[in-house]
Structure 1
Amino acid sequence: MSKLPAVLWNRELAATVGRLAVVAGVAAVALAVVLPRLGVGTGPVFVSVRPPQVLPGSVPAEPEPGSQAGETGLVVDDAQAWLRDLAVGPERPAFERGVRAAPGALCAAFAAAGWRMEGWTGSALGEARAECAGERVYPAPGDGGDATRSFAMLRGPGPEAVREMRMKLNLLDPATADAAARDAAAAVSAAFERMSWPAPSDLARRIAALEPFEAEDEGTIIRFWREAGEVPRYNLAIRLPGPLAIPDASRMAPRPGTEPAGG
């Protein structure tokens, strides 16, 4: 009879453990259902990365007056020279084309378009300048009136380059005015084609339509206008960009004593 209370106690303990196990299982299931609905433990993980910062200690200090370069042989001036492109930032120069066609080729482009052109030679404005000029004359009207006549001139600061193209349209005969305007537009387009440039947008159309305008296209300045007066006279001025600047390659050469070991 003494063993009966021990058996009952063991059964009661086992029952308690079983009830606790059931409660724990129910709680786990409840958490598994509720937490996703609350958004806990779900969704993508976002990682925040701070942008890089230049610490004050990373900038080379100015050398003391009279001091020599360090072991690397690179002083502050050298570092600024090697990193100059990185320091330009947004202040970069606008793109500009350079005239690569020979002046004589541009004069020939006008001649091929039907203009009676002279050769590229010295200018009457001075020996340091050069130019070629020409004209295009249209048949005179049957009533004895004045004929339409157009002039063209290409000019440069020297014999090696063209910087300016000018045209003057004297549309004295209404019967040939439209043809003269179209021929002027074709000649300008031929010059741009000889330079291997795309002509500025609507350039030929505006000239052919005798539509005054001003424009700038990648360094090329264009102006087309009508003169005051009853007689229709139009002027075209095209200012081409200067020669392409070729950087001096010697700027990239290391200073004496800064070459790496074994170089």
Structure 2
Amino acid sequence: MSVQARYRLLYDEKDSFIFKLPFSKLSLLTVTLPLVAFLFCIIYSIIFNFESVNKTHCNVYNFLPSVSSAIGGYSPQKEVWTWAIFLHAVPRLCIPIMYFQYNSEALYPRAFSIMVVASFLNTVENIALIVLSFYTSSDNYPVHRRAFITFIICSELYMLLLVYLHTRYRKYLTEIDKVSLNLKKKLVFINIISILVATYCFIRHNSSCEDYVYSFFAFCEYIVVLTNMAFHMTAALDFKNRHLHIYKCGVCLSPR
């Protein structure tokens, strides 16, 4: 008996059903919270904290703040970002479970071990995001730095694995599945290129101390963050016709 059938049985026999929610809407809401907070932090920092957020050890001119400086260095940016991450944390941590169930239905069984690894990476990515948001670079730089590195590594590996799984082991692809997969491929490509360019700019800034270089690094950081959010937002396409069913004893996805 499938997981979905077992949960239907619970609903029919034990009346354990609490409520259901369109998962596409939940996915959009989950990503919208940090997206709006991120844009607010960047814009507010540029308008009201321009000199301080753009200051680096080189004392050269820059016009864009780094992500860490914008979200964790000043108020109210720090509080807005922290609250956004706090509010979206629970549904975000549920998504790896939902994707594992979705992948179990959509992919061939021989991909099971890779699905487990992908779910683990997605979970660690989410936890690292929460940690780096609550331990900012100004509060605890060593913890923030380790969490940020963990987030980037797990994020990249997860995105690559998910694209690989749905390219190599997908049972069938509907038109909307094809759109979602193509979007994922493009976003992963842009994300990886942005990380490479950001790394180059960061090294060049620290070694040469040239004007604007750190700003280009910051811009590439923005692209990395936004493409990561957009990648996770494709869940709205993957789960377009699905509902999240909440039961007293668990959760599951259902096409109705």
Q: What range describes the TM-score normalised by the shorter chain of this pair? A: under 0.3
- Of structures 1 and 2, the larger Rg is shown by 1
Given the two structures, how large is their TM-score scaled by the length of structure 2? Answer: 0.26
Higher relative contact order (CA 8 A, sep 6+): 2
The structure with the largest helix share of the pair is 2
More strand by share: 1
TM-score by length of 1: 0.26
